[in-house]
Amino acid sequence: METFIQALPKIELHLHIEGSLEPELMFELARRNGVSIPFDSAAAVRAAYEFSDLQSFLDIYYQGANVLIEEQDFFDLCWAYLLRCRQDNVLHTEIFFDPQTHTERGIEFDTVVNGLLRALERGRTELGISSHLIMCFLRHLDEDSAVATLRRALPHRDKIIAVGLDSAEAGNPPQKFQRVFEEALDAGFLSVAHAGEEGPASYISDAIALLKVARIDHGVRCVEDPELVQQLIAARLPLTVCPLSNVKLRVFDNMQQHNIVDLLRRGLCVTVNSDDPAYFGGYMTDNFVALAAAHPMSEDEIARFSFNAIEASFASAERKCQLEASLRDFLARA
Ligand code: ADE
Ligand code: ZN
């Protein structure tokens, strides 16, 4: 099964690029930029990655991002992720970035975007990996800050496909960002939002109704509202689920308790993703392997996650056809 999973063509739709910062690169960038970090080795950094909930992770994650200063740093970060994509046979990826994490430290919006885009372009030409950028607003900050961020992004409108919403969920409901999402949709961005990770099922319903999202990131708490589950099934509204993340952040006690396979079998458009792989112990293949170890599945069921991800992606119709062809070709040979 591991061989099948490794070779399976994959599509990633929920990946925070800042969450792919491996401790080794963190150290290199800290040295290069003269930034001090409170660890004396990459192993010590890894040992500190024990989280009790989302906030305990976010505190460490925002601290890690402080080493990212120059455009080249953002390029190096994104290029390292794309090389991991190639290793895991990820053919298409839609990458979140958090502009406010950087602009709040005095880093220019353009520095971040230009570094990421240069890596994505090289990924397209050298690795054949297609991609999109999604700009997330930090929900622990106020809506005015999100509006200012959106306006800074307008000159890059053609290079950023969607806006998203991440960071501390509980107490920061979708309502808080209704105005900025309306402005983003008017400007032509698509929208997604984290909801139902630590927040209640009502945040999922509200993200759909108020923020007009095309996908929900996480969404695993939808099961607390049976009517919502029926709505998600009927509309094929996708959930980008992150199994290892959910266990690391104690959304579920262990992988056996995770509900994604049940949701798949009930007909939801669920997908497997890595979220913040450098912090949660694994990239795409690792997530699939951990899931399959805890929940025996047929090859068809495992492949259905990839079919769902193609359907849920923002790739062009032409690219979706190519991705489906790769997947069917793989299954015919498997
Ligand atoms: N930012 C990075 N990872 C996140 C997650 N799992 N939930 C909310 N915000 C995040
Ligand atoms: Zn996330």
Sheet with strand 270-272: strands edge to edge? 10-16, 90-97, 130-138, 162-166, 190-195, 215-218, 239-241, 270-272
The one-letter amino acid at 40: D
Instruction: Confirm or reject: Cβ of 167 under 6 Å from ligand 1.
Output: yes
At which residue do the structure tokens 């993703």 appear? 273
Q: Is 140 exposed, middle or buried (0-12, 13-18, 19+ CB in 10 A)?
A: middle
In this predicted structure, what is the pLDDT of residue 5? 98
Counts for the chain of helices (H) and strands (E), in that order: 17, 8
Question: What is the distance between the alpha carbons of residues 270 and 38, in angstroms, rounded to a whole number?
Answer: 38
Q: Can you give the pTM of this predicted structure? A: 0.98
Atom of ligand 1 nearest to the CA of 167: 9
Residue 210 contacts residue 175 (beta carbons within 8 Å) = yes
CA of 326 to the centre of ligand 1 (A): 30
Instruction: Confirm or reject: Cβ of 198 under 6 Å from ligand 1.
Output: no
CA dihedral 153, 171, 242, 252 (to 10 degrees): 170
CB count in 10 Å sphere of residue 331: 16
In this predicted structure, what is the pLDDT of residue 97? 98
CA of 141 to the centre of ligand 1 (A): 14
| 3-class secondary-structure state, position 26 | helix
Question: What is the distance between the alpha carbons of residues 4 and 80, in angstroms, rounded to a whole number?
Answer: 24
Alpha carbon nearest to ligand 1 atom 1, residue:
167
Q: Which of 49, 58, 273 to mutate to test the pocket of ligand 1 (most atoms within 8 A of CB)?
A: 58
Question: What is the distance between the alpha carbons of residues 81 and 57, in angstroms, rounded to a whole number?
Answer: 20
Instruction: Confirm or reject: Cβ of 243 under 6 Å from ligand 1.
Output: no
Instruction: Confirm or reject: Cβ of 16 under 6 Å from ligand 1.
Output: yes
In this predicted structure, what is the pLDDT of residue 220? 98
The one-letter amino acid at 326: S
In this predicted structure, what is the pLDDT of residue 82? 99
Atom of ligand 1 nearest to the CA of 198: 7
The residues, any chain, with a CB within 8 Å of residue 131's CB and separated by 6 or more, are 82, 92, 93, 94, 95, 120, 123, 124
Residue 149 contacts residue 183 (beta carbons within 8 Å) = no
Question: What is the distance between the alpha carbons of residues 325 and 3, in angstroms, rounded to a whole number?
Answer: 20
Residue 274 contacts residue 22 (beta carbons within 8 Å) = no
Task: Give the pLDDT means over successive 10-residue stretches in the chain (334 positions).
Answer: 97 99 97 94 92 96 96 99 98 98 98 98 98 98 98 98 98 98 98 98 98 98 98 98 98 98 98 98 97 98 98 98 98 96
Domain spanning 2-333: which superfamily? Metal-dependent hydrolases (3.20.20.140)
Q: DSSP state, 144?
A: H
CB count in 10 Å sphere of residue 209: 11
CB count in 10 Å sphere of residue 19: 23
Instruction: Confirm or reject: Cβ of 134 under 6 Å from ligand 1.
Output: no
